[in-house]
Homo-oligomer: A and B are copies of this chain.
């Protein structure tokens, strides 16, 4: 595990950035998306993400758990099972993510056009 991951003395970023600092890492959104349809166990989650390493997934889940976005439920069978469930707080992010997704979809062509213009100006 990364040292200092659970430091309690973290500096408070500007409030607009608080969410993003914690949620906008490489996998969080995809994890949330996967859990929105129902609880999943660790390896099921890992398979549904495709590309994530178990170290990164663990790290992502710990952060989401710490922030109250997902809940980790240990089922004491043998071998052990762990289910991850989205919390109400996590669910409250759904509309936000949908808005982001909508914006992305509708604006993508315009963004790509802008990129082409920019790159063209640079090339000459």
Contact = CB atoms under 8 A, between A and B. Distances in A.
A82 to B, nearest CB: 15
Contacts of A19: 100, 103-104
Copies in the complex: 2
A85 to B, nearest CB: 14
Interface string A1-40: 0000010100000111111100010100110010000000
Q: Name the residue among A65, A66, A89 with the largest chain B CB count within 10 angstroms.
A: A66
A41 to B, nearest CB: 21
A-side interface size class? 35 or more
Looking at A6, A24, A93, the one whose CB has the most chain B CB atoms below 10 A away is A24
A111 B68 contact: yes
